[in-house]
Chains A and B, each alone.
Chain A
Amino acid sequence: MRTRHFCSACGKVQPAVPVDYFTFFGFPRKLDLDTSVLEKEFYALSRRLHPDVFAQAETQERAWSLEQSSMLNDAYRTLKDPIKRTEYLLRLEGVELEEQSKQATEKARATGELKKQAVPPDLLEEVFELNLHLEELRMQKKAGEDDPAMLEEIGKAKLSLEEKYDALFSELKSEWKKWDKAVDSGTEEDRRKIRDTMVDVLNRRNYIRNLVRDVNEAME
């Protein structure tokens, strides 16, 4: 249920209730969100909460309207962006990435077993290799040399990274659909699996995003 931004009896603005951003807009905690609906809701609420509307209002009401509109902006910005929306939902669901990693290290310490890395080893290998190439490229640039073969190789790597990046987004979107279904009719076990997959996809995407950024910087 959507939180009440205005009093249903007198129409006055209400203090902001500390709810999650989905609830703020009256959406279920689902991911395959129709952003045009979100946008419409956002603009409608923005108009009603605009400071001009409250220019003559009492101090209390003005303060509440400010609170509401700042929450509105945060909620809109978070839900509009597909990645932020996914990360936000995972956080709501209690997924703490850093905490997980620390716990895994502690477990490895206690049991002597090897910690499972959050991304597959071949991706790490690829990230590492490409970083080495980039470093070399930067050094060559500084020295005023250039190496067309190296540039070509990095250019190729960039293309394949971009492909992977897109593929990961499609993978994420298909997980959204599974998640939304599981919200309605899945078991907690189903949902846990989907959450884990989404974390995994986001982790891999992080690496690739940083790499693409670094490649672009180095090739400038």
Chain B
Amino acid sequence: MAYSEKVIDHYNHPRNVGSMDKASADVGTGLVGAPECGDVMKLQIKVNPQTNVIEDAKFKTFGCGSAIASSSLATEWVKGKTVDEALEIKNTEIVKELALPPVKIHCSVLAEDAIRAAIGDWKKKQNVAKPAEMQAQ
């Protein structure tokens, strides 16, 4: 199967590979896997607490070329978006952008899962960080 040019570009020059401090209050970490193939993907975001804007994103993926390209693209897309805007990203948009064939759709699903998981983790931290509000509920 031939990869599209965009996939190859992200594969050869992945954007934002790396990691951030998992324990930091403004960092959200998503670790997800695709059981079909056993691939794993970690995506992290750093959110500005005042504006809820994602200021930085990093990823590390052990998996196929499409998974690497999808997560690389995902980090590019989330940067500069607010958390709520980032939740709007759909795997189908990734499929379109990277021209992924049907057998590689699950790789893009993985990237969407990773974004959601990272945001979910960050949100959890925000709630825990505001115990007074929690008690008021």
* A-B CB contacts (within 8 Å), total count: 72
Contact (Cβ within 8 A) A98 B36 = yes
- Residue A102 contacts which of B62, B106, B120 (CB distance < 8 angstroms)? B106
Contact (Cβ within 8 A) A128 B116 = no
Contact (Cβ within 8 A) B90 A101 = no
- Residue B33 contacts which of A97, A98, A132, A207 (CB distance < 8 angstroms)? A207
Task: Confirm or deny: B117 has a beta carbon within 8 angstroms of a beta carbon on chain A.
Answer: yes
Contact (Cβ within 8 A) B106 A98 = yes
Please measure, in the bound complex, the distance between the C-alpha atom of A22 and the C-alpha atom of B76, giving whole angstroms: 49
Please measure, in the bound complex, the distance between the C-alpha atom of A124 and the C-alpha atom of B32, giving whole angstroms: 7
Contact (Cβ within 8 A) B90 A117 = no
Task: Confirm or deny: A12 has a beta carbon within 8 angstroms of a beta carbon on chain B.
Answer: no
Chain B nearest CB, measured from A121 CB (Å): 7
Task: Confirm or deny: A140 has a beta carbon within 8 angstroms of a beta carbon on chain B.
Answer: no
Please measure, in the bound complex, the distance between the C-alpha atom of A131 and the C-alpha atom of B36, giving whole angstroms: 18
Number of contact residues on A: which range applies?
20 to 34
Chain A nearest CB, measured from B28 CB (Å): 12
22 contacts between A and B (CB under 8 A): A97-B36, A98-B105, A98-B106, A105-B91, A105-B113, A108-B116, A109-B90, A109-B112, A109-B116, A112-B87, A114-B116, A119-B33, A119-B35, A127-B62, A128-B60, A128-B62, A132-B60, A135-B62, A206-B36, A206-B37, A209-B38, A211-B38
Interface residues of B, Cβ cutoff 8 Å to A = 31-38, 40, 42, 60, 62, 87, 90-91, 105-106, 109, 112-113, 116-117, 120
Interface residues of A, Cβ cutoff 8 Å to B = 97-98, 101-102, 105, 108-109, 112, 114-115, 117-119, 121, 124-125, 127-128, 131-132, 135, 202-203, 206-207, 209-211
13 additional contacts (CB under 8 A) given A127-B33, A131-B62, A207-B40: A97-B35, A97-B36, A101-B36, A109-B116, A114-B120, A115-B116, A115-B117, A117-B32, A117-B113, A118-B35, A128-B31, A128-B60, A211-B38
